[in-house]
Structure 1
Amino acid sequence: MLQGAGVVSLSGISTGAYATGIEPFRQVVTRYAIRPNPAAPWPAGLRLRIAVLTDIHACDPWMSLERIAGIVAATNALQADLVVLVGDFMVGQRYVTRIIPAAEWAPVLGGLAAPLGVHAVLGNHDWWEDPDALRRGGGPTASGTELTRNGIRVLSNEAVPLATRAGPVWLAGLEDQLALLPVRRRTGRGRLGLHDLAATLKAVPDGAPMILLAHEPDIFAQVPARVALTLSGHTHGGQVRLFGWSPVVPSRYPGRYAYGHVRERSDLVISGGLGLSIAPIRLGVPPEIVVVELGAEAVA
């Protein structure tokens, strides 16, 4: 019995050491090949390679400036047509040795490059860690200001056309769905988020191909079939994922929008992200750069 207990104890210690000391610093590239739903307009023959970065949570020692620079280099090496950043650049936990301010991490991300540009939306922690923006109940935020200053277009309930060889493809970006949650908890009133899906979609001409960026995936339950692809983060894949199951998922639909490719009326990809939130642990869901080949033959 003592020998068995010892084995179990050592196993638990080794797993914990891996989950805090190794997996959070790993980095993988996860690829999806998606043919848009027939209900979504998409130019015949057009194939876009999209690199997706999300949930960086800049801080020492978990996501240092040097590590962010390595992510930028790895992303550029993928030669994507488009690079998108889907929010949560700011730290999301207390177990850090230094919070890295936006004025330091944004210039590093400014090294990202792609023919169709580099675009971003904000996440909940970009609001929650910005007391001035919370007090105002609106922007500008430190994250948004510094990203813009370093050449990255930040979309807030708006859309822009991308000039592809097959004509314009619209990129729409939704403002965060939980932006004002700390204020609401404190006062008991007011809005939860600053998102406006109807206004965001209205900015795209009828019948035009469209990609949507939304930090939290829950909005996908309301996304119409005309959107070819929605890209999200936020969940970190549960940050602990065992045999395809995550015990804790920050979503109203934890069994529905936890991680990976989801097809309903249209297509959603939820990235497991790169950094850490709440606790410094990752197990079964290593930090990832996501690459989506949109317009490609779907993977069986």
Structure 2
Amino acid sequence: MISRRDLLKMTGVVGVGSTALSGYAVAEAFDEHVTSYAFTPPNWTPGLKLRLAVLADLHVCDPWMSLDRLERIVEQTNSLHADAVLLLGDFVVGLRLGAYSGTIDNDAWARVLAKLKAPYGVHAILGNHDWWQSAEVQRLRQGPPPAAQALTAVGIPVYQNTAVRFEKDGRAFWIAGLGDQWAFRPTGDDRDEIVPARLANLPYTGVDDLPATMAAIKDDAPVILMVHEPDIFPEISKRVSLTLAGHTHGGQVRIFGYAPVVPSIYGPRYAYGHIVEDGRHLIVSGGLGCSSLPVRFGSPPEIVIADLGGSDGGEV
């Protein structure tokens, strides 16, 4: 656990609101919990039971997401005995948060994540901060970014518009991963983050290719699709049983369940939780780390567990 001395230091750095409120918001940023969902998604094979552990938006840095804290998250995730672990991107910290923190070498955090264990593997996609970390990647407008290289080096596959088929108890399923939708900032923009209210007016360039991702799926087995930003969800067909996203941090600050600022062109529509539209299912994780100021209020960091095929009971 974080020490009282460090907590007081961080509260002083944040400097927002009253001392008590800002202290609570900083403390909440370190209070990980498990959020569980249990349901049978559409296009699901009868008898297939699948437990997925989802980690999103780690934003590794000192002291907010230290290697020690990451070790604890890995241990907690392993204790949940998931069939597969899905990592939804934004492994690295943003430059704006970097003003309040120290960076951690990519190889170091990747070695910790390599301790994740699941019988059907650990699977990753990248987020916008992973692409934005490298000025050279931004200048050349091509990858792979350092985070992808670090993950691949420790044996964690990084999906970019592709899919892999698995079988459990003789029943097949696909895990697919979409390339990031905000991979490249507008040319000439050297800021790490943009005010979310202006997002719809900025020409981000992605490396996402949804048609190519779906073309990689060669049969009618259920599809689990990993995306970083949930904004792609209206374009995803009913062929996909479940889409999993991160990026929003659940708004990071939620007041009576409402997030006033969400980094999405759809505002709060896809801010958080289990969302069903036109029979299509999306789970948006609140994530684990922080961007901008290292605070969370009403949106604590979470490990998501999705138990699929064993219940029709919805969220538990």
Do both proteins adopt the same fold according to a TM-score greater than 0.5, normalized to the shorter chain? yes
Counterpart AA for 1:104: A
Equivalent residue, structure 1, for 2:8: none
Report the Cα distance in structure 2 between the residues aligned to 1:266 and 1:251, rounded to whole angstroms. Answer: 19
Report the Cα distance in structure 2 between the residues aligned to 1:23 and 1:70, rounded to whole angstroms. Answer: 16
Q: Alpha carbons of 1:259 and 1:191: their partners in 2 closer, same or farther (altered >3 Å)?
A: closer
Matched, 1:207 2:220: yes
Q: Alpha carbons of 1:223 and 1:101: their partners in 2 closer, same or farther (altered >3 Å)?
A: same
Q: What does the per-residue CA deviation read over 1:12-68, in whole Å, with 9 as the maximum and x for residues that have no partner?
A: 321111112x1111110000112112xx2x210111000000100010010000000
Q: What does the per-residue CA deviation read over 1:74-118, in whole Å, with 9 as the maximum and x for residues that have no partner?
A: 000000001000000010223433111211110000000100000
Report the Cα distance in structure 1 between the residues aligned to 2:86 and 2:174, rounded to whole angstroms. Answer: 13
SS at match of 1:192: coil
Matched, 1:29 2:16: no
Choose the corresponding residue for 2:167, options 132, 152, 163.
163
Report the Cα distance in structure 2 between the residues aligned to 1:101 and 1:218, rounded to whole angstroms. Answer: 30
Alignment of 1:170-185 (within 5 A): 170-183=174-187, 185=189
Equivalent residue, structure 2, for 1:12: 18
How far off its partner does 1:150 sit? 0.8
Report the Cα distance in structure 1 between the residues aligned to 2:53 and 2:189, rounded to whole angstroms. Answer: 35
Report the Cα distance in structure 2 between the residues aligned to 1:254 and 1:49, rounded to whole angstroms. Answer: 30
Equivalent residue, structure 1, for 2:239: 226
Choose the corresponding residue for 1:121, options 99, 119, 125.
125
Q: For the Cα contact (< 8 Å) 1:62–1:96, is it kept in 2? A: no
Q: For the Cα contact (< 8 Å) 1:35–1:295, is it kept in 2? A: yes
Q: For the Cα contact (< 8 Å) 1:95–1:279, is it kept in 2? A: no
Report the Cα distance in structure 2 between the residues aligned to 1:48 and 1:193, rounded to whole angstroms. Answer: 30
Equivalent residue, structure 2, for 1:274: 288
Choose the corresponding residue for 2:306, options 268, 277, 292.
292
Give the aligned length: 285
How far off its partner does 1:206 sit? 4.1
Q: Alpha carbons of 1:181 and 1:259: their partners in 2 closer, same or farther (altered >3 Å)?
A: same
Q: What does the per-residue CA deviation read over 1:130-177, in whole Å, with 9 as the maximum and x for residues that have no partner?
A: 122222212111111110111111101111112211332111100100
How far off its partner does 1:200 sit? 0.3
Equivalent residue, structure 1, for 2:4: none
Aligned-residue CA RMSD (Å)? 1.8
SS at match of 1:154: coil
Choose the corresponding residue for 2:61, options 59, 70, 83.
59
Q: For the Cα contact (< 8 Å) 1:128–1:182, is it kept in 2? A: no
Alignment of 1:234-245 (within 5 A): 234-245=247-258
Q: For the Cα contact (< 8 Å) 1:181–1:193, is it kept in 2? A: no
List alignment gaps of at least 5 residues for structure 2. Answer: 1-16, 191-200
Q: Alpha carbons of 1:184 and 1:66: their partners in 2 closer, same or farther (altered >3 Å)?
A: same
SS at match of 1:153: coil
Q: For the Cα contact (< 8 Å) 2:186–2:203, is it kept in 1? A: no
SS at match of 1:205: coil
Report the Cα distance in structure 1 between the residues aligned to 2:183 and 2:257, rounded to whole angstroms. Answer: 29
Q: What does the per-residue CA deviation read over 1:189-241, in whole Å, with 9 as the maximum and x for residues that have no partner?
A: 98611100010011102422111000001111100001000010000000001
Alignment of 1:45-56 (within 5 A): 45-56=47-58
Counterpart AA for 1:249: V
List alignment gaps of at least 5 residues for structure 1. Answer: 1-10
Counterpart AA for 2:256: F
Structure-2-length-normalised TM-score:
0.86
Percent same amino acid at aligned positions?
50
SS at match of 2:172: strand
